[in-house]
Amino acid sequence: MEKMNFNKITSIVLGVVISANLLLSPIVSFAQSTRDDIKAKRASLFCDRISNLSGIDQKIAEREATIEQKRADRINRLKEKRNRGNERRVAARAKWDVNRAERYKKLLEASAMTDEKKQAIIVFKTTLEEATKMRRATIDSATQTFRAGVDQEIRAEGTAIKAMINTFKSDIRSATEKAKNDCASSADSATVNQVLRSSIKVAMKQFTTDIKSLGLKDAIKPFTEARKEASKQAIETFKSTMQKAIEDLKAALEA
């Protein structure tokens, strides 16, 4: 099962953080200025840049759209994989059906020398066909349950990612608004700058931790194991039924 690499997601959102940092970079020196002039100019430019941070929401929205597109692409690939699997299974079963029909015909032609032996072959055919139907039905049901479980977990993952992104956006927005308010109240610009940068780093770290906690592979493991066990049991039951049918047929033909 293909999964979305959390590193790709965090790298997308990291672009927002980098953009914010560029907007917040302080001016370190001004030629022919006194220290007070430098401080005043730095504070003024910082506040001007804070007022222009409304574009961060747009940048996050663009990267959120990129994440959604990647998820949509993954789901489409999964659908295509399933369709190919369905086509191969249908073709293989059709081929097996033809082969069995030919074997039944040859068996009747070669061994149905009496009505009793003909009837034994018919019973053998009926038993084998019913066993085949049961095996296929069990495997198809297990596959359907597996796919439904995977789809459920993919939807849950999408909901979780959206919630994480919304939390990240809210944290960035809150930090930015606080910086604007602090700047408007004439707080020390260097302190405001540092607090904002620190808040962005904390938000990014939390987002990364949350993304890492998503375990789609582990979440679908029970469905994978259940399908595997159901298929295994179906095949074993079929083999057991077929073996007994062969032994019964053999005994009838040798009588």
Mean pLDDT, residues 195-209 taken together: 90
Give the pLDDT band (50/70/90) at residue 53.
low
Mean pLDDT, residues 195-199 taken together: 89
Mean pLDDT, residues 32-48 taken together: 61
Query: Quick one: what percent of the chain has pLDDT higher than 70?
Result: 79
Residue 28 pLDDT: 39
Q: Spell out the residues 6+ positions from residue 123 whose beta carbon is closer than 8 angstroms to its own.
A: 248, 249
Q: Find out whether 109 and 209 touch, Cβ atoms under 8 Å.
A: no
Q: Spell out the residues 6+ positions from residue 25 whose beta carbon is closer than 8 angstroms to its own.
A: none
Residue 37 pLDDT: 64
Residue 27 pLDDT: 36
pLDDT mean across residues, the chain? 84
What is the rounded distance in angstroms from the CA atom of residue 40 to the CA atom of residue 35? 9
Residue 41 pLDDT: 62
- Whether pLDDT at 25 is above 80: no
SS3 31: coil
With 0-12 CB in 10 A as exposed, 13-18 as middle and 19+ as buried, what is 179? Answer: buried
Residue 192 pLDDT: 84
Residue 34 pLDDT: 65
